């Protein structure tokens, strides 16, 4: 697999030199400064490519993450063809620059959602965490969304109310900021009234409606991507469950099957995110990888440890609930199959996803979930798994 690294651009606290020192050669990035729905111009793409290549470390822009989908496309609101046309133009400009793998998501309003950025681990390391009672306290008692208390146990509601009643204004502001932290490249950061207004735009949109809006988007852009020799790969929902009453449609194997069938083309593929899918107790992530291996064009490798109440925490890359060795084996098997068949896109770009804050990472102003040393450790561990599996297979072939 191509060992890659997410970089948020020149303002990232983690430099390109650090990415190369970690052992990565592929860079995963986006043009975060361009508003959603606008065309990515050739000169902007070329400038970012030059920034990545300039240090002379053998780095290249391997994957776009993300080419954002405008919120009106998800809602199905207003005239959409101009937005589809802009997306196709951006694809053409990226393809002309030799960038052919595009990760995107279809999560309404928010990307990944956590309630705690600094859950303390033994030795003082820090992890991202989703505490269900804090999420419910926000949704039910801060956001005051009608029906937000439905479907939860008495224990969760009691803990949510206890947290809310004991929280200071600073605690509540911190929870709002934590929930917004999953939007590193977005322009919108909502306060409570703003989030309510945004959710109102989705009123009446259910699971099937959102699926229909995704189908319309795919039918509009996948043929262009296929003609350009590109691969679009949708990112799963994080967490893989409805959030603030919003539907989520990329949360399980059936969701993935439905999406890949909407436009049955190699250009309509999947970003295999083991952490996002792994937060759903019903998901067997290695089995999902093997089932959809032929349409996986990009992989985020991380792990989560789930609690019985629905909470979860970012675990060590080789810890947590997903068998990472089996998952890596599934991806390596698919790469071997592609090579034997002489297929294009034989090498799957992967990156170590969310890492723990450890050592000198603690207190450094990196993007939440993207410290340097924690991801360096994750990449080293994953590299070791890949090397061991490849060595074993070479001896038994």
Positive or negative: CA dihedral 282, 285, 287, 289: positive
C-beta separation of 47 from 9 below 8 A: no
Sign of CA dihedral 270, 276, 278, 282: negative
- How many beta carbons lie within 10 A of that of residue 351, not counting itself? 28
Candidates 353, 356, 361, 367; catalytic one: 353
Q: Would you call 164 a catalytic residue per the annotation?
A: no
On the 0-12 / 13-18 / 19+ scale of CB atoms within 10 A, 226 is: middle
Rounded to 5 degrees, what are φ and ψ at 67?
-95, 100
Q: Point out the catalytic residue in the list 164, 235, 317, 367.
A: 235
Q: Catalytic residue among 70, 300, 356, 367, which? A: 300
370 has catalytic annotation: yes
152 a catalytic residue? no
Q: Is 273 annotated in the active site?
A: yes
Q: Does 207 participate in catalysis according to the annotation? A: no
The residues, any chain, with a CB within 8 Å of residue 64's CB and separated by 6 or more, are 28, 29, 30, 94, 99, 101, 102, 103
DSSP 137-199: IIIIIIS--TTTTTT--HHHHHHHHHHHHH--HHHHHHHHHHHHTT-TT-S----HHHHHHHH
Instruction: Catalytic residue, from 237, 255, 273, 361: name it.
Output: 273
Distance CA 49, CA 39 (A): 17
In sequence order, which residues have a C-beta less than 8 Å from that of residue 7 and are 6 or more positions away?
Answer: 14, 16, 19, 27, 28, 29, 52
3-state helix, strand, coil in the chain (%, to 5): 45, 15, 40
Active-site residue 187, yes or no? Answer: no
Query: Looking at the annotation, which residues are catalytic?
Result: 235, 273, 300, 353-354, 370
């Amino acid at each position: 697999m191509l060992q890659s690294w997410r970089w948020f651009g020149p303002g990232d606290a983690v430099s390109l030199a650090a990415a190369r020192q970690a052992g990565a050669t592929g860079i995963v990035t986006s043009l975060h400064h361009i508003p959603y729905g606008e065309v990515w111009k050739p000169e902007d793409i070329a400038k970012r490519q030059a920034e990545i290549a300039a240090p002379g470390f053998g780095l290249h822009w391997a994957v776009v993450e993300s080419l954002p989908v405008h919120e009106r496309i998800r809602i199905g609101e207003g005239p959409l063809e101009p937005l589809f046309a802009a997306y196709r133009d951006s694809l053409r400009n990226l393809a002309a620059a030799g960038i052919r793998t595009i990760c995107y998501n279809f999560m309404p309003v928010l990307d990944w959602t956590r309630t705690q950025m600094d859950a303390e681990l033994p030795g003082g390391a820090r992890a991202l965490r989703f505490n269900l009672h804090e999420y419910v306290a926000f949704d039910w008692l801060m956001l005051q969304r009608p029906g937000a208390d439905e479907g939860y146990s008495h224990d969760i509601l009691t803990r949510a109310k206890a947290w809310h009643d004991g929280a200071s204004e600073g605690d509540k502001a911190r929870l709002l900021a934590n929930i917004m932290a999953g939007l590193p490249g977005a322009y919108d950061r909502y306060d409570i009234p703003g989030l309510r207004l945004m959710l109102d735009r989705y009123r009446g949109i259910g699971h099937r409606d959102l699926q229909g809006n995704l189908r319309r988007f795919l039918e509009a852009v996948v043929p262009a991507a296929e003609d350009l020799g590109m691969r679009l790969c949708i990112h799963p929902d994080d967490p893989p469950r409805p959030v603030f009453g919003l539907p989520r449609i990329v949360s399980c194997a059936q969701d993935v099957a439905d999406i890949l069938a909407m436009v049955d083309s190699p250009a309509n593929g999947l970003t295999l995110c083991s952490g996002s899918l792994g937060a759903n107790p019903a998901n067997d992530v290695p089995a999902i990888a093997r089932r959809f291996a032929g349409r996986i064009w990009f992989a985020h490798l991380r792990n989560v440890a789930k609690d019985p109440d629905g909470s979860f925490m970012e675990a060590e890359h080789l810890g947590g609930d997903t068998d990472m060795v089996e998952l890596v084996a599934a991806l390596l098997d698919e790469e071997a199959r592609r090579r034997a068949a002489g297929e294009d896109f034989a090498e799957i770009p992967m990156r170590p996803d969310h890492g723990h804050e450890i050592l000198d990472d603690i207190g450094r102003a990196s993007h939440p979930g993207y410290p340097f040393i924690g991801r360096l450790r994750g990449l080293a561990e994953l590299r070791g798994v890949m090397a061991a599996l490849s060595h074993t297979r070479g001896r038994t072939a």
